[in-house]
C-alpha cells in the first residue's frame, strides 16, 4: 500500500522526525490560506501516487498567497500519468544548506531491513548508488523484532562520508526511520530530501512510504485514526 506525500509526512512526524510546516489542501482557497499561514515563499505540490510531478507541471513555486491559489487551481485539474490529484501540499521554500537521502528498505536477498544514507539527496538513490557508490552508506538490521540500535544508523551514515555535528544530528533521524519501518510494517520508508537547514537542523522535505498489504488489519489505528483514511479508499 502506497501513501500520498502528505500522509507520509504525518507518519514521519509521528515518529519524532522534524518536518517543515505544511498544509494539505483540496481547494485553491485552502492553498491560499495555507500560504498565508506559512508565510514567505512556498511550493505547491500535486498529491498523486505516481512519479514525474515536476516534469508534468505538478510542482510550482509561489511568491505570494494569491499565486499559491492560482497554481493550486491549475494543479488540481492536472492529470499526471493517468492519476488525478487527491489535493495539493503547500510547503515553505526552506533555506537549505545541504540535501541528504535517508531510507530503509526490505532486502529480500538478506531477508532483513537495509538502512541507506547518502549526502547526495534530492535525486534517485539508485542513480547515486550507480554513479557515486562511495556516497551511499548501508547497514543491515539483524531483525525486525528487536529495537534498531543507534550505532547501526551511525555506522551507515558515517560510511557515506558524513562526520562531526552532521553525523550526530542525522543519526537519530535514520534510527527513528528504522523504528518507523518496523513498527508500521513498511516495505519502504524514505526521506528524500532530508535537508540540513542554514541553522544546522535537519528536517524532512519529502517522504515516501509503502506498507505491507497484509499489515492493514494490524495498522488500523494508523490508517483510520492518524491518517484518517476512509475504509472505502480504493487502496484498501
| Residue 212: predicted pLDDT | 93
CB count, 10 Å around CB of 178? Answer: 29
Instruction: Please name the residues in contact with 220: beta carbons below 8 A apart, sequence gap of 6 or more.
Output: none
pLDDT tens, 195-210?
Answer: 999 999 999 999 999 9
Q: What are the cell numbers at 55?
A: 516534469
Q: What are the cell numbers at 179?
A: 523504528
| Residue 236: predicted pLDDT | 66
Give the closest residue to 101 by CA, choosing from 172, 47, 46, 174: 174
| Residue 144: predicted pLDDT | 66
| Residue 233: predicted pLDDT | 83
Residue 149 DSSP code: P
Mean pLDDT in the chain?
94
Task: For cell 537549505, name the residue.
Answer: 96
- The residue that leads in pLDDT, 236 or 10, is 10
Phi, psi of 46 (to 5 degrees): -65, 140
Cα distances from 231 to residues 74, 88, 187, 211, 235, in angstroms, run 29, 22, 21, 16, 9
Q: Is the pLDDT of residue 21 over 80?
A: yes
* 174 contacts 200 by C-beta, under 8 angstroms: no
Q: What are the cell numbers at 127?
A: 542513480
Q: Is the pLDDT of residue 235 over 80?
A: no
Cα distances from 158 to residues 66, 155, 162, 177, in angstroms, run 44, 5, 5, 17
* 86 contacts 4 by C-beta, under 8 angstroms: yes
Above pLDDT 70, what percent of the chain?
98
Q: For residue 232, what pLDDT band results from cuts at 50, 70 and 90?
A: confident
CB count, 10 Å around CB of 70? Answer: 17
Q: Is the pLDDT of residue 137 over 80?
A: yes
Amino acid at each position: 500500500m502506497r501513501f500520498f506525500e502528505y500522509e507520509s509526512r504525518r507518519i514521519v512526524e509521528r515518529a519524532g522526525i522534524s518536518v517543515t510546516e505544511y498544509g494539505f489542501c483540496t481547494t485553491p482557497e485552502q492553498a491560499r490560506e495555507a500560504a498565508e499561514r506559512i508565510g514567505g515563499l512556498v511550493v505547491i505540490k500535486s498529491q498523486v501516487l505516481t512519479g514525474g510531478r515536476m516534469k508534468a507541471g505538478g510542482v510550482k513555486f509561489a511568491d505570494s498567497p494569491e499565486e499559491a491559489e492560482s497554481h493550486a487551481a491549475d494543479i488540481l485539474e492536472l492529470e499526471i500519468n493517468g492519476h488525478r490529484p487527491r489535493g495539493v501540499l503547500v510547503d515553505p521554500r526552506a533555506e537549505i544548506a545541504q540535501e541528504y537521502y535517508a531510507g530503509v528498505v526490505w532486502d529480500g536477498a538478506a531477508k532483513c531491513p537495509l538502512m541507506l544514507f547518502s549526502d547526495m539527496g534530492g535525486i534517485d538513490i539508485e542513480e547515486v548508488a550507480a554513479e557515486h557508490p562511495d556516497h551511499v552508506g548501508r547497514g543491515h538490521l539483524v531483525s525486525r523484532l528487536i529495537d534498531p540500535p543507534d550505532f547501526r544508523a551511525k555506522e551507515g551514515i558515517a560510511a557515506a562520508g558524513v562526520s562531526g555535528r552532521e553525523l550526530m544530528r542525522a543519526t537519530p533521524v535514520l534510527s527513528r526511520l528504522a523504528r518507523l519501518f518496523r513498527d508500521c510494517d513498511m516495505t519502504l520508508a524514505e526521506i528524500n530530501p532530508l535537508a540540513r537547514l542554514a541553522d544546522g537542523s535537519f528536517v524532512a522535505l519529502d517522504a515516501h512510504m509503502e506498507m505491507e498489504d497484509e499489515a492493514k488489519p494490524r495498522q488500523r489505528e494508523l490508517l483510520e485514526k492518524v491518517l484518517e483514511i476512509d475504509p472505502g479508499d480504493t487502496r484498501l
